[in-house]
Amino acid sequence: MKELNLIELRRALHQIPELGFEEHETHRFLMERIRELPQESLTVKTWKTGIFVHVKGRSPTKTIGYRTDIDGLPIQEKTDYSFQSNNKGKMHACGHDFHMTIALGALTKLAHEPADDDILFIFQPAEEGPGGAEPMLNSDIMQEWRPDIIFALHIAPELPVGRVSSKPGLLFANTSELFVDLTGKGGHAAYPHLTHDMVTAASYLVTHLQQIVARRVDPLDSAVLTVGKISGGTVQNIISEHARLEGTIRTMSQTSMQQVKQHIENVTHGIEIAHDCQATVEYGSNYYQVYNDATLVEQFRDLSAQVGAFYQEASAAMTGEDFGYMLKDIPGFMFWLGVESETGLHTATLMPDEQALSTGVDVVNHTLRNL
């Protein structure tokens, strides 16, 4: 078997980041690499910009699924790489170039030497938004090849190379995007009494939203409500008739998520009355919590040690991941892979250590063969 150059592969993928459901070049690249493999045990089907690869086992008793995400982020890259993104304003700033490379590495090994059980590789689009996991899960192809168990990884910049980390139970939070539009009456800055100022309304709304977690959520049930962007107005001497807030909600339980959303709507309705305006609240992409199967995590801990990876117990995080939808429907788990970067996920300067690629392939390949 020809040894796959993981670093070369990752660098090629790093240069072609694309946003959710726009991963056409990425799709072509992946399909070319898949077609280069021995095809005797492979069946390949496409779904939108995603790909399913079924690897027939030698004496299957179950199907094990492995999912990787393939999209990038709308971030302008600021690394020192000689192989920076070729797509302006887009970057693999969450490590999906690593994720795809590791999946291709494990697939290559299994294509040359199949496992006992059937394996399903899932190259999933739109993890960063608007969310590809749930519709891919509900696709006819997934139902035809439905795995009995499933797992995935995510790079962890804060962990050293050679380390993996997971935990039974809740690993990632429930998440939801938040968009609030406020519409009032604009006018000249010299005549504020004739207007309904939406910059002022937005300011009050942000202040009130920050009290929801502090005063409406059980202190023992963590939640985060962040407004990351406010836009409104045109120039300094015109009172704005429109303002928009964009943010995110993250909770450790579905109950808290529903409570937070209800309070957001209550507070926003109060702003409508107090500031004589109209408001709309939309939630955009919603991601279900990542909840790991305890027995499978225990098996993974032992299997990762067998290939020399050091296992570390993780803490639950407010990170969001749409892989949670797959785990809601199929028993499985997600784990962190240490890549030791000075800067974190979703930053323009993320530079994971490429030595982690071989660790990832070894861990995934061994786990797929032995779960």
Catalytic residues: 69, 128
**Three-state secondary structure call for residue 334:** strand
Phi–psi pair at 3, nearest 5 degrees: -70, 130
| Residue 94 vs residues 7, 66, 128, 134, 140: alpha-carbon distances, Å | 17, 18, 9, 20, 29
**Ramachandran sector of residue 156 (left: φ over 0; alpha: ψ -120 to 50; beta: rest):** beta
Q: Cα(290)–Cα(18) distance, rounded to whole angstroms?
A: 24
Please state, as a whole number, how many other Cβ atoms lie within 10 Å of the Cβ of residue 66. 28
Compute the CA torsion angle 163, 325, 294, 354 (nearest 10 deg).
-10
**Three-state secondary structure call for residue 2:** coil
Please state, as a whole number, how many other Cβ atoms lie within 10 Å of the Cβ of residue 160. 13
Q: Are 281 and 209 in contact (CB under 8 A)?
A: no
End-to-end CA distance of the chain: 24
Maximum distance among all Cα pairs of the chain, rounded to whole angstroms:
80
- By the 10 Å C-beta count (0-12 exposed, 13-18 middle, 19+ buried), 299 is classed as middle
Phi–psi pair at 275, nearest 5 degrees: -115, 10
Q: Is the peptide bond before 331 cis (omega within 30 degrees of 0)?
A: no
Tokens of 284: 């955009």
Q: Cα(8)–Cα(69) distance, rounded to whole angstroms?
A: 19
